[in-house]
Structure 1
Amino acid sequence: MAAKQITQETFDEVVQENIVEFGLEPEEALNEAVQQFESQGVDLSNIVKEAPNPTSENGQEQNHAILQTLDSLQKAIVDSDSSEMDELLGSFAEQCRRELAVRYLAGRKGAYAAVLAAGRLACEDRCSLLKALEALSALTDGQPDLLDASGQELLLQVLQGSRDAADLTFVAIRCVRHACLKHEQNRQDLVRGGVLPLLAGAIVQHGDRANVVREACSGLRIMTFDDDIRVPFGHAHDHAKMIVSDHDGLRILIEAAKAFTDDCSVLSEICATLGRLAVRNEFCQEIVDLGGLNFMVALLADCIDHQELVKQVLSAIRAIAGNDDVKDAIVNVGGTDLIVLAMSRHLASPQVCEQSCAALCMLALRKPENCSVIMEGGGALAALQAMKTHPREVAVQKQACMLIRNLVSRTRDFSQPILEMGAEDLISEARAAHRDCDDIAKAALRDLGCKVELRELWTGQKGGLAH
């Protein structure tokens, strides 16, 4: 059942009542209100929980610092007071970064229109425009619905007209990223407006600026997401295809990596983005042809201790291994040994274990020769160790079961060695603990030659389901 919701006004009224009716101090009144609502199962995640100013006499709204700042900003915009506006935009952005509840309250009280108006007024002044974009970025973080056609137009204008300005480009791309996360319509509108070549171009134009390259990679990647539950299907695949085919995205990313050999955060973003773009057989092959596979294998070898980077490299290798020829290329350059080493080194990380098992699973699929290499390199044992280490992580259990199944489905000789490693008990435990694992665990047990109880859910007889 969904949690109950209340408005900011309702919450503030209860806090005020606790002060006036029960004589509590502001901080006590606030804590009492929080406890009261939480005990009733109310979700307070979008509520600003601030103790009111005891000297206040003009109602509740002014007690919230963000609304005071917004009120002053709106007046400065009306008066076209640029110096006051810059200072207030900075303060507003800082307050918005504190928490989503503050941004949510500001958004409800007209902050988007004010910040957009400030941005339009500041178009000729780079410093003021930067302040407005920073405020817009902070406000839209977690609130992509706020962006409208005017806001999209402003962002595209800035990216188009300020290509040489790294600071403006960086903040404008961050606004794009916030506006497109979990918002399919904004993605489609901005892509139609020409944002993809601007994002790719920013990587080329500012290839020596880590923050811009990181942000632009993230922006491109979000265009390939399908994360808006409000739409039945999105254009994720189309956008990925456009980035690669129309805007040379793969070459741009792989070239960009050469400038950041020691910056794991940038390399992580590049690998994560490459993985999202490997949506077609020929794109996977192109990544190899451009040197992307050698680059990723070298990263695994050289940066094996950097957990986040390892996770993203494994995810990218998993993606390009969708191509059968690339599977062989990965194995031929020693990729399997490095994947097993990464899983062993980061056994405590469920994400690394999941991606390692998934990558090996792809390499083993329809490839008996690769299965032999994985077995010899200790891949099955490492996967079972991951299952043992993370019994509650359904994603780890599922990928490990799929790997085991792929290893034995065409090479039954591996069944006995894998069973001697304790596979049957671990897979049975996964099946019992996680409903999502049931089918794949059952298939793995069957292909291992274990006896699997098959429940007959439907007998075909009148009267309903048989239990």
Structure 2
Amino acid sequence: MNLEINTDSGKPVLNEAIEHLKSYADDKFSNDEPLLQHLNTLHEECQKSIPHRVLASQNGAHSTLLSLLEARINSNGENSNTDVLEAILKCLNSLTNKQPDIFNANALALARCLLDTNVNESVICLCLQWLQKACVMHEMNRQNIMNANIVQQLKRFVSKENGKILREVLAIFRYLTLDDDIRIEFGSAHEHACQIANEVVKDLTALLKEFEDTNVLADSLLTIGCLAVRQEICMNVDEVGGIKLVFQVMANNLNVVRLNREALKLLRALAGNDTVKNRIVQEGGATLLKELLQTHISNEHVVSAALACISTLTLRVKENSKIFFETGIAEIIVETIRTHPKNKIVQRNGAWAVRNMVSRSREQCDIWLSFGIEDLLNVALNEHPSVHQDIKAALRDLGCNVELKEEWTGTAEKKILNS
């Protein structure tokens, strides 16, 4: 770790900043300038690396910052200037980043108090970002935050009033559904998703028609997709017109890569409910997906998501496969596979889409073969051996010759005699 040293004192500037901040912990903030300077120094040092943040915590930075934050909250408006409050929150953000163990009950209580009492946009956003960092890689923090009824507290921000704050709230909802703490054998990601969805998924879906900002829309689509983990949640999204709203957002922003990628992931998640899956196709999903593939055929991220979505929507439903086929999408799928021969995910997802479309509709096979799909899949078979089973399944259902290998063979140590 490369610590910056104060040439005058010979001490690390990180340690000095913390010592100066400790002297302010019980102060009434009569002079904000020196305090701001030390907070900015601490923030800059903590931004450098995890070892810097660990050292700061070991020297009492976290408890000192919480004391400063509590004093600022309890000042009852004596300090209308939010610069110091924002600086404290920036320090807490940088200190907690990839070090969520330091986040404790006192920190959660202060964060909740800030969200209840402060109306400044920057302060609220910084507070929400602090909670986000506490959620990453820490299951107990996520459970404590959920147990503190944070979702109810954040519901008031799920509105069209402020898109910037809404994006931060959506990020917290997603982070609360993470399952990334290797120290915990069984997390509560599914339960958290269900609890959050029951509170906000209908409101979030309805908000899709209120925004034009593609970043807000993309975050909303991504969050709804993260929450759609059960059949009844998918139905709730559909009941408030979610399918038509998603289609409308996609049609209005056909050229926006990230938004359409998230929309495709959401449609695929909603298709986990068979009733919703059929409605997606019947209400024009096939035509829209064809148009999307044509528009973004050169973008491997969009086409891989689109092909995966097609494979899900046509899985075990012959009528859906027929509707897709009648749009002429087969030729576009083949051309997409031809355009990205080196991309394993595109080749695999393309094979899924082909297989699911023809598996119950063998009358389509001749048309698919006339577009040259067999040669493309055989090339992919040699190019991407790790997905050979997916590609062979597509070739098999197309009626092509496939060399199947017996995976599990062996020889007995003792010869088995027929009795």
Q: Within the alignment, does 1:155 sit opposite 2:103 as a pair?
A: no
The answer to whether the 8 Å contact 2:208/2:249 transfers is no
Counterpart in the other structure of 2:162: 209
1:109 is displaced (CA, Å) by 4.8
Q: Is the 8 A contact 1:96 1:102 kept in 2?
A: yes
1:72 aligns with 2:20: yes
1:174 and 2:125 aligned: no
Corresponding residue number in structure 1 for 2:175? 222
**1:364–1:371 CA contact under 8 A, matched in 2:** yes
Deviation at 1:226, TM superposition (A): 2.3
- Once the two structures are superposed, residues 339-362 of structure 1 have per-residue CA deviations (whole angstroms, 9 ceiling, x without a partner) of 222222223332211211111111
In structure 1, C-alpha distance between the alignment counterparts of 2:370 and 2:51, rounded to whole Å: 54
User: Which of 86, 89, 94 is equivalent to 1:138?
Assistant: 94
> CA offset at residue 429 of structure 1?
3.7
Q: Which runs of 5+ in 1 are unaligned?
A: 1-7, 13-47
Secondary structure (helix, strand or coil) at the match of 1:455 reads: coil
Q: Which residue of structure 2 lines up, in the alignment, with residue 233 of structure 1?
A: 186
Q: Is the 8 A contact 2:208 2:246 kept in 1?
A: no
Any unmatched runs of 5+ in structure 2?
415-419
Question: Identity rate of aligned residues, in percent?
Answer: 31
What SS does structure 2 have at the residue aligned with 1:348?
coil
State the alpha-carbon separation in 2 of the partners of residues 192 and 461 from structure 1: 57
- 8 Å contact kept, 2:209–2:245: no
Q: State how far apart, in whole Å, the 2-side matches of 1:156 and 1:463 are.
A: 68
Q: How does 1:106-121 map to 2 (within 5 A)?
A: 106-107=56-57, 109-121=59-71
- Residues 83-115 of structure 1, C-alpha deviations (whole Å, 9 max, x = no match): 233443244335545666754654565433332
Quickly say closer, same or farther: Cα 1:222–1:395, change in 2 above 3 A: farther
Q: 1-side partners of 2:210 and 2:138: how far apart?
A: 32
Structure 1 pair 134–420 and aligned structure 2 pair: CA distance change class (3 A): same
1:44 paired residue number: none
Q: Deviations over 1:251-274 (max 9, x none)?
A: 2212333432x2111111111111
Task: Give me the whole-angstrom Cα distance separating, in 2, the residues matched to 1:167 and 1:58.
Answer: 35
Distance 1:346 1:102 in 2: 44
Pair 1:315 & 2:265 matched: yes
Give the alignment of 1:84-123 within 5 angstroms.
84-93=34-43, 96-97=46-47, 103=53, 106-107=56-57, 109-123=59-73
**More divergent stretch after superposition (225-234 vs 443-452):** 225-234
Contact 1:358 1:400 in 2 (8 A): yes
Higher relative contact order (CA 8 A, sep 6+): 2
Match of 1:259 among 202, 207, 210: 210
Aligned partners of 1:99, 1:386: CA distance in 2, in Å?
43
Residue 229 (structure 2) pairs with residue 279 (structure 1) = yes
- Distance change (3 Å), C-alpha of 1:119 and 1:334: same
C-alpha distance after superposition, 1:32-57 (max 9, x if no partner): xxxxxxxxxxxxxxxx7xxx67x837
Give a deviation string over 1:68-91, Cα, whole Å, max 9, x none. 534433343366656233443244
Looking at structure 2, the residues matched to 259 and 99 of structure 1 have their Cα atoms a distance apart, in angstroms, of 40
TM-score, normalised via structure 1 length: 0.78
The answer (yes or no) to whether the contact 1:176–1:219 under 8 Å persists in 2 is: yes
Q: Is the Cα–Cα contact under 8 Å of residues 174 and 215 in structure 1 kept in the other structure?
A: yes
Give the equivalent residue in structure 2 for 1:20. none
Aligned mates of 1:338, 1:95 — CA distance in 2: 50
- What's the CA shift for 1:227? 2.8
Q: Which of 407, 430, 436 in structure 1 is aligned with 2:357?
A: 407
Counting matched residue pairs gives 406
Asked if structure 2 preserves the Cα contact closer than 8 Å seen for 1:162 and 1:168, the reply is no
Q: Which amino acid aligns with 1:56?
A: T
Structure 2 Cα separation of the partners of residues 280 and 291 of structure 1: 18
Query: Could you say what secondary structure the match of 1:135 adopts?
Result: helix
Please list the CA deviations of residues 255-306 of structure 1 after superposition, one character each: whole Å capped at 9, or x if unmatched.
Answer: 333432x211111111111111211222212212202111110111110111
Deviations 1:306-354 (A, max 9, x none): 1111111111111111122222221222222212222222233322112
CA distance in 2 between partners of 1:231 and 1:420 (Å): 52
- In the superposition, the TM-score normalised over structure 2's length comes to 0.87
Mapped partners of 1:100, 1:346: distance in 2: 39
